[in-house]
Amino acid sequence: MNELIMPHNVGVKNALENMKEVLALYKKVIGNYRLLLDGERYLTDKEVAQILKVSRRTLQEYRNDGVLPYILLGGKVLYRESDLERVLENCYHPSYKL
């Protein structure tokens, strides 16, 4: 049991690989994490365009037409997630049964 722990040891290699996987997962989770400001999550125009499946130019038209409320902060456009949900709920039309 007086064996030296060396990097070429199978157990050490497995442990290092597992640590690399955990680190990659941690970086992925942290990369997607956004702090909430007063309990509210803010989305960028790129994120909203992906969610709504529209172009960023279309989002600009929605802003200009007053369809989507937004915040302009330092030249960057942000959307409150709750505002986006409210607009979608207000525009929802159930299907009609024939």
- What element of type H or E holds 78? strand 76-80
Residue written as token pair 């929802």 = 92
**pLDDT for residue 33:** 62
Closest by alpha carbon to 45, among 66, 62, 32?
Answer: 62
Gap between the Cα atoms of 47 and 32, Å rounded:
12
**pLDDT for residue 92:** 87
**pLDDT for residue 36:** 66
The contacts of residue 13 (CB under 8 Å, 6+ apart) are: 7
- Verdict on whether the full-model pTM lies above 0.75: no
Reading the chain (98 residues) residue by residue, the pLDDT tens digits are 566 667 677 777 888 888 888 888 877 776 766 666 777 889 999 999 999 999 999 999 999 999 999 999 898 999 999 999 999 999 888 888 77
For residue 43, count other CB atoms closer than 10 A to its CB: 19
**pLDDT for residue 48:** 93
